[in-house]
Amino acid sequence: MPSDCLFCKIVNREIPTEFLYEDDDFVVFRDINPAAPVHVLLVPKKHIRSINDLQKEEGPIVSGLFMLAKDMAKEQGVNTSGYKLLFNVEKGGGQVIFHLHLHLIGGWKR
C-alpha cells in the first residue's frame, strides 16, 4: 500500500468515512463530489493502482465489483430506474485517485 493512497487510508480507517457496505474484500461509500443524486464508490481493499495494473489472478476482484454494484444499485433504489457503472483509467481517462474503484451513478429523475 502506498503511504499516500487516499483510498487505502479510508479502507484502513485512517480517514473517517461512513461505509454503506463493508466485507472482507470491499468497501462502499459516497463520493464526496457526487455527479448525480446517487454516486457511490466501490473500492477493493487490496491496493491495485489502476485497471492497467490488474493481474490475471485479480479477475475475481473485478467480477466481485460488478456483483456488488448490482446489489448496491438495488440498495440505493436505482436498480429499476437505471444507473451507470464507470471506471476511470489513468489521468487521460479521468482517474484522480490511483486505487482501483468503480463508480455507481444514478438517481436522475426523467
The catalytic site residues sit at: 101
DSSP characters for 46-86? S----GGG--GGGHHHHHHHHHHHHHHHHHTT-TTT-EEEE
Q: How far is CA 98 from the centre of its chain?
A: 12
Whole-angstrom Cα distance, residue 7 to residue 1?
10
